[in-house]
Amino acid sequence: MRIQKHIIFIATLLLLVQSCDIFSTRTPEVPDTGRSSFKPPFAPEIVIANFTNAVKEKNVDNFTACFSDTSKNFSASYRFIPSTEALGKFGTMFIGWNIESERKAFSSLMSNMESDVFPLLILSNNEQYSFEIKQQDSAVFESDYHLTVNHSRQTIEPIFAGTLRFLIKPGTDGTWSIEQWTDMNPSNDSVSVTWSSLKAGFIN
């Protein structure tokens, strides 16, 4: 009788364990890699790292998150100043250029690249992160750049060069973003087409 009760007790215990499923192996969740390299930009250096990584990883959300947005704790809206080379070609196209313009142009560019092909962005000032100005309320970063994007549009150049100048400022939550991006013609480069022309070519 005692043995029978013991067997019933063990059987009941096994049923409870199975119903709770505490020892079963769960299928691991797929990690969210869409923003894997994006770090909270609590310093100007992190903004530059987020920006370059977003370009290299073809990540539209990370790219646009680098720019100042008044709806996200920043006092001023993002502004882009194109190169003189692009202004001569595209005239007034850059009037009213904003974050949504950046998103459309970058997204269009990425959709015109093969899935296994990634942009190559080289900043001459990328390793040192040397800022022309670095204060508590602003920082200015300037660097020559060389950008290669092997896209599918035959009417647009694949290689671009110039000098970018970022005005970076903090928001009320302590994070920093690019408030103004000035694109300039390269001083010493065999490539004469700037990033501005790339934006103009893919905005439509």
Asked if residue 17 is part of any domain, the answer here is no
Range 123-143 average pLDDT = 88
Sign of torsion, CA 171 174 176 177?
Answer: negative
Asked if residue 20 is part of any domain, the answer here is no
Asked if residue 79 is part of any domain, the answer here is yes
CA distance 52 to 126: 9
The yes-or-no verdict on residue 13 having pLDDT over 90 is: no
CA distance 187 to 165: 14
Count: domains in the chain: 1
Asked if residue 127 is part of any domain, the answer here is yes
The yes-or-no verdict on residue 91 having pLDDT over 90 is: no
Predicted TM-score (pTM) of the model is 0.80
Asked if residue 8 is part of any domain, the answer here is no
Q: Could you please report the per-residue DSSP string of 109-149?
A: HHHTS-TT---EEEETTTTT--EEEE-SS-EEEEEEEEEE-
Q: Could you please report the per-residue DSSP string of 44-79?
A: HHHHHHHHHHHHHHT-HHHHHTTB--TTTT-SS--E
The angle formed by the CA atoms of residues 57, 104 and 36, to the nearest 5 degrees, is 25
Rg (CA), the chain: 25
Give residue 78's domain range.
Answer: 39-202
Range 151-168 average pLDDT = 95
Identify the CATH number of the domain in which residue 106 sits. Answer: 3.10.450.50
Stretch among 109-113, 130-134, 149-153 having the lowest mean pLDDT: 130-134
CA distance 140 to 81: 15
**How many Å is the maximal CA-CA distance in the chain?**
99
H/E/C letters for each residue in 151-198? Answer: CCCCCCCCEEEEEEEEEEEECCCCCEEEEEEEEECCCCCCCCCCHHHH
Asked if residue 33 is part of any domain, the answer here is no
What average pLDDT does the chain have? 84
Asked if residue 91 is part of any domain, the answer here is yes
Asked if residue 26 is part of any domain, the answer here is no
Q: Tell me, what's the pLDDT at 60?
A: 97
Tokens of 178: 């690019």
